[in-house]
């Protein structure tokens, strides 16, 4: 048996199968985004909502393909932080990790606040904090327990969405004429809708960041990521068609709770509480998977001392990055009690799009023997990420640029201090 050297960090255990990885990806993607993002996206794109969904799906496919090939080559915790470091250099890996951690921490806060808004609106912040504590406790005890809970959550959410689609499309209020693209469509509106809807697609990163806990990663990850993305795209398309057919683009764009308004307009008021419960459960599923992904990237960055090295600890019994999980939970609780949900979503999208731009650039450098995707895939991925990022609302773009610049400055200061120390 191989013994661990004194200075070597303990590794995580490979426990996840293909189905486990797909479920974790689905739990990340089929989450609160489908319950909340359709309204803002319809407001931006109008009758071009489905075009915006297609744009987001194309960019997500390129990102997923690049991520899958890279994850098979580098089956370690950390995702694009590892890929950027290995393929492009230390700075680009760091920038990817920084973008992911800060962007997805904001996303964790948004999901926690969504739980609070649906479960107990008057005490949304308190419920958000409680949700973070509860799900961190699940993650702390092992990734297999997290995968099991995610499987239950995904089943509930899919059942609720199926009810919404069947009831809506079978009602007398459904009109396929509302699916037609009108004169209100604009390029800018479609791209902004694509950027907003991308927020709901980005969960396949969770599969890649769990690379150190997946069995046979060279086979499992390239299969799990496209499967999870394909299932999600089908679900999102069917749900968007149902909502558009019942409400139309204008009413959908002004809806604060799009799917609840859809079933209400379809004459199924009895289904509204079920949709509300489904939204809360979906947000919990997203939060569960998000904390998993952020903590694993934090672990990888801490191993390289871009973050405090104490966060690189792995629990001796549960084999989880327990300190990283606790640190992430603490930050999310603080953000969830101070941030605005819409702002958190926009900021998260900007950071994650930058993260995937680096993933695509990294995939470009792979050789055919290393499983490089067709050249057009990372090219479209990089261009698509850049366009969607800067098509987001201006406040989100400004906030994203400032925080990313702060991260780059911290990296430069750290390198300068290290250089001075080495010269002494």
Q: Is residue 294 within 8 Å of residue 100, measured between CB atoms?
A: yes
Q: What backbone torsions phi and psi does residue 77 show, to the nearest 5 degrees?
A: -65, 140
206 and 293 in contact (C-beta within 8 Å)? Answer: yes
CB 252, CB 52: distance < 8 Å:
no
pTM over 0.85: no
Euclidean distance between CA atoms 143 and 212, whole angstroms: 11
Residue 203 tokens, joined: 């969960």
Q: Give the residues across from 16 on adjacent strands.
A: 214
- Cα 347 vs. chain centroid, distance in angstroms? 12
What b/e readout covers 213-245, taking b as 16+ CB neighbours within 10 angstroms? bbeebeebbbbbbbbbbebbbebbeebbbbbbb
Report CA 304 to chain centroid distance, whole Å: 24
What CA–CA distance (Å, rounded) separates 255 from 169? 18
Structural domains of the chain, with CATH: 18-415 (1.20.1740.10)
194, two tokens = 């694509």
User: Whole-angstrom Cα distance, residue 119 to residue 220?
Assistant: 36
Distances (CA, A) of 291 to 73, 101, 198, 300: 24, 10, 19, 14
Q: What is the pLDDT along the chain (424 residues), one digit of tens a residue?
A: 344 444 445 555 666 777 777 777 777 677 667 877 788 889 899 999 999 999 999 999 899 889 888 988 887 767 788 899 999 999 999 999 899 889 888 888 888 887 887 778 788 888 888 989 988 887 776 655 556 777 787 888 899 999 999 999 999 999 989 998 988 889 999 999 999 888 777 766 666 656 566 677 667 777 788 888 888 889 999 999 999 999 999 999 888 778 888 999 999 999 999 998 888 888 887 787 778 778 877 888 888 888 888 999 988 887 788 899 899 999 999 888 877 666 777 788 899 999 999 999 999 999 998 889 999 999 999 999 999 999 998 888 999 999 999 999 999 998 888 888 777 7
Q: Does residue 371 come out as left (phi exceeding 0), alpha (psi in the -120 to 50 range) or beta?
A: left
Cβ proximity of 246 and 173 under 8 Å: yes
Instruction: Name residue, tokens 């610049």.
Output: 405
Burial of 417 (0-12, 13-18, 19+ CB in 10 A): exposed
Which residue in 36, 211, 199 sits closest to 113, CA to CA? 36
């Amino acid at each position: 048996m191989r013994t661990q050297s004194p200075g070597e960090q303990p590794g995580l255990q490979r426990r996840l199968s293909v189905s486990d990885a797909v479920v974790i990806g689905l739990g990340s993607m089929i989450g609160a985004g489908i319950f909340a993002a359709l309204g803002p996206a319809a407001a931006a794109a109008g009758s071009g909502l489905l075009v915006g969904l297609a744009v987001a799906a194309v960019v997500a496919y390129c990102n997923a393909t690049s991520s899958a090939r890279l994850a098979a080559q580098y089956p370690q915790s950390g995702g694009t932080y590892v890929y950027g470091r290995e393929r492009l250099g230390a700075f680009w890996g760091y920038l990817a990790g920084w973008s992911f951690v800060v962007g997805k921490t904001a996303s964790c806060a948004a999901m926690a606040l969504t739980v609070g808004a649906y479960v107990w609106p008057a005490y949304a912040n308190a419920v958000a904090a409680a949700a973070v504590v509860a799900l961190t406790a699940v993650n702390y005890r092992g990734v297999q327990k997290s995968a099991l809970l995610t499987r239950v959550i995904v089943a509930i959410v899919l059942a609720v969405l199926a009810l919404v689609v069947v009831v809506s499309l079978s009602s007398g209020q459904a009109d396929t004429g509302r699916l037609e693209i009108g004169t209100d469509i604009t390029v800018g509106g479609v791209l902004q809708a694509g950027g907003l809807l991308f927020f709901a697609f980005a969960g396949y990163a969770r599969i890649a960041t769990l690379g150190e806990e997946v069995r046979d990663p060279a086979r499992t990850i390239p299969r799990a990521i496209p499967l999870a993305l394909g299932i999600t795209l089908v679900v999102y398309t069917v749900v968007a068609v149902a909502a558009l057919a019942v409400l139309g683009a204008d009413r959908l764009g002004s809806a604060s709770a799009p799917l609840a308004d859809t079933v209400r307009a379809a004459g199924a008021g009895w289904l509204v509480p079920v949709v509300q419960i489904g939204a809360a459960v979906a947000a919990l599923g997203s939060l569960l998977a998000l904390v998993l992904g952020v903590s694993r990237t934090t672990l990888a960055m801490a191993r390289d001392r871009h973050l405090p090295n104490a966060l690189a600890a792995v629990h001796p019994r549960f084999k989880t990055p327990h300190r990283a999980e606790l640190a992430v939970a603490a930050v999310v609780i603080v953000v969830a009690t101070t941030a605005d949900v819409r702002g958190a979503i926009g900021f998260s999208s900007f950071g994650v799009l930058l993260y995937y731009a680096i993933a695509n650039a990294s995939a470009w450098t792979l050789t055919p023997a290393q499983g490089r995707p067709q050249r057009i895939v990372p090219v479209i991925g990089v261009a698509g990420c850049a366009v969607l990022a800067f098509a987001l609302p201006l406040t989100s773009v400004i906030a994203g640029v400032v925080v990313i610049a702060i991260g780059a400055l911290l990296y430069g200061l750290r390198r300068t201090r290290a250089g001075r120390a080495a010269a002494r």
